[in-house]
Amino acid sequence: MQHESNQEFSTRVTPATATTPAIFETQPERTDLPLVVMPYVVPGMIAPFKQWFPMLQDVARLRMYEDYTLDPDEFMQRAADADAIMDISQHISNTMLEQLATHVKGIAFGGTGVASYIDIDRAHELGVRVCNTVHYGDHAVAEYAIAMMFELARRVGELDQQMRNNNWAGLDGMELYGKNLAIIGLGGIGKLVARMANGIGMHVYAWKSPTSKQDYAALNITPVEDMEQLVAQADVVSIHMPLLDSTRGIIPKQVIDAMRPGTLFINTARAQVIEPGALKARLLKGDIPAALDVYDQEPLPADSPLFNVPGLVLTPHVAWRSDGAYRELTKQVVEDIVSFYQGKPMNVMA
């Protein structure tokens, strides 16, 4: 069926009810086009996504459900007639993937760490193309890591609660100026954290750094080849390692144990880059203040012992969630879909 490409880009909105979310559709009359379904969306992404949807004109129809409940059964029901999916933070099990593969041929994932959410090898075996998004949130995550560093050092949240409880006692803090920061993983995010830490006046050390001496000098970073030695001399340790087959469990228990008591520990990367159980065991000792945005199991179970660790700051994997990151992420997700239907490679993982 031929269709005039200069026709107005049409949309349709089905209002929310007491039991169903609002549904936003593009080109709903174009039944000749494949259907792309976004079963869930982070509320803050709705407006940015709509900005980019005209790129789908004459390429694909879209159906976006405007809620964010991340229920696997609901996800599968909403994706039942999809040819492709835009996945915003839904963990897709192999059982789900195998069922989806009977009709879904492409998945555009709204994030960098897609390997934590989808079995890439299994998707490849099933003939499902998986795309991610890259470098969309480098500044957002770097700023969040620095914010966590300040929170651990100055305990602003705890002081706020003291004030609300009519307690003027206050708390002593740790000055970051002149302290040693150890960065594990010096990609786009790690480099930004290094620059910010330099601005604070910290001494920055890193493992897995750029290979040239010019890069080290430009970033004012001292490279340390031995990870255990790196953390042993640190006052603050921040993880910025992507999750790949080569990095899974790359930080062993002996490195976690090498941190001195009182070392501030921050992870806004992926929990799985640390040897299973190593960080939990150290945190339960209660001798290192830590801030975590990522976990082995997400959402973090309500009975997790981490909730009972004094001084531990926990946030629900939100370091990437900012206005700037939303703009770039949503654009890339839509571009991934367009490239998929045009037979072009973009951010292809499988």
Active site members: 270, 298, 317
Identify which of 88, 81, 80, 83 has the alpha carbon closest to the alpha carbon of residue 38.
88
Identify which of 139, 39, 136, 79 has the alpha carbon closest to the alpha carbon of residue 335.
136
Q: Is 76 exposed, middle or buried, given 0-12, 13-18 or 19+ CB atoms closer than 10 A?
A: middle
Angstrom distance (rounded) from CA 23 to CA 343: 28
Could you give the C-alpha distances from 285 to 257, 264, 282, 310, in angstroms and in order? Answer: 11, 14, 5, 10
Angstrom distance (rounded) from CA 255 to CA 347: 33
Angstrom distance (rounded) from CA 78 to CA 61: 15
Identify which of 336, 315, 320 has the alpha carbon closest to the alpha carbon of residue 49.
336
DSSP bridge pairs for 184: 207, 239
**Residue 184 near residue 226, CB atoms below 8 Å:** no
Q: Which residues contact 266 (CB under 8 A, 6 or more apart)?
A: 145, 148, 149, 152, 236, 237, 238, 239, 290, 291, 292
Q: How does DSSP assign 176-244, residue by residue? A: -TT-EEEEE--SHHHHHHHHHHHHHT-EEEEES--SSHHHHHHHTEEE-S-HHHHHHT-SEEEE-----
